[in-house]
Amino acid sequence: MVTAAIFRAAATVMLLVLSFSACQAQLSSTFYGDTCPNALSTIRTSIRSAIARERRMAASLIRLHFHDCFVQGCDASILLDNSPSITSEKFVTQNNNSVRSFEVIDEAKSAVENVCPGLVSCADILAVAARDASEYVGGPSWTVKLGRKDSTTASASLASRDLPRFADGLQRLIDLFESKGLSERDMVALSGSHTIGQAQCVTFRDRIYSNGSDIDAGFASTRRRNCPATFPNGNGNLAPLDLVTPNSFENNYFRNLLQKKGLLQSDQVLFSGGTTDSIVNDYNRNPSTFRSDAMIKMGDIEPLTGSAGIIRRICSRVN
């Protein structure tokens, strides 16, 4: 009896291990090799066309992937619209009138559906789009592991809780990234994607009018020209996150921080006498070290695989 019980227990453990291993194994760079061999090239063509029309779209696509993965994992939950059963993540403070490029993902999804319907998830398209966007503007490239499924739910409450805010302090940012299994170095590297893209006046107004010791006076003066002091005047006016090379993906972001020219408070705190100063210095001195590892790790945050999740036919709603 005891032997049989031990055998049954061991068998149960083995099944759990095999199930876990199978789930993990489903994320693979060759996941669509047999079922949809043209998936990646189809996505790449669509993404490059979108960025060619508007260079800023590269930053938006990278940010969209980031804002997806930080809420429920990399499951395309951010793409879901409001419905009777879903409260969309699109309208929380960190996303509303800020996160964009949804239509680009829709275009890529439509193109892939024409090639191989019902096989490629929106979550995978988000991950591939971020890589292709980075590569197109001179940033790092990486091998994307594939096989994610799409969620059938979204969580506005988790989005509000887990996504960084533009005025967050250093420890708050460290805690948020650590909760997703990302180190301080990962956090600084991912923040470096702010070397491209733009921010709205409302997100940096307090910083440029603070006359604080952590902002270059000339930089603040320049930014005030298109960002009135009185709320809500000019709230949506845009400024490049990197004034020097706003459309190129390189390490100038880190040089800006050293010169107290980080546009957002959540950027400048990375070089403010804290534990991440040395990492910023490293990335400033060694551009080649600012590469793709952090993006790969982010794309691995809690993916849905196997039977956990679906393949949405349209990314903004559940089938």
Give the catalytic positions in this structure: 67
CB neighbour list of residue 224: distance below 8 Å, 6 or more residues apart = 208, 209
Other beta carbons within 10 Å of 160: 16
* Single-letter residue type at 151: S
The pair of three-digit structure tokens given for residue 98, joined into one six-digit string: 């800020």
197 in a known ligand binding site:
no
164 in a known ligand binding site:
yes
User: What distances in angstroms separate CA 213 from CA 196, 207, 208, 232, 260, one per listed residue?
Assistant: 25, 10, 11, 25, 9
Measure the CA–CA gap between 274 and 269, rounded to whole angstroms.
8
71 in a known ligand binding site:
yes
73 in a known ligand binding site:
yes
77 in a known ligand binding site:
yes
Exposed, middle or buried by CB within 10 Å (0-12, 13-18, 19+), for 11? Answer: exposed
89 in a known ligand binding site:
yes
The pair of three-digit structure tokens given for residue 157, joined into one six-digit string: 């409450």
245 in a known ligand binding site:
yes
The pair of three-digit structure tokens given for residue 10, joined into one six-digit string: 């061991």
Residue whose entry in the numeric block shows the structure tokens 């083995």: 14
User: What distances in angstroms separate CA 221 from CA 68, 198, 200, 237, one per listed residue?
Assistant: 35, 18, 16, 16
Residue whose entry in the numeric block shows the structure tokens 């993902």: 105
194 in a known ligand binding site:
yes
160 in a known ligand binding site:
no
For residue 283, the surrounding DSSP H or E stretch is helix 277-285
Other beta carbons within 10 Å of 57: 24
Integer-rounded Cα Rg, in Å, for the chain is: 21
Binding residues for heme b: 194
Binding residues for substrate: 164
Binding residues for Ca(2+): 68, 71, 73, 75, 77, 89, 195, 242, 245
Binding residues: 68, 71, 73, 75, 77, 89, 164, 194-195, 242, 245
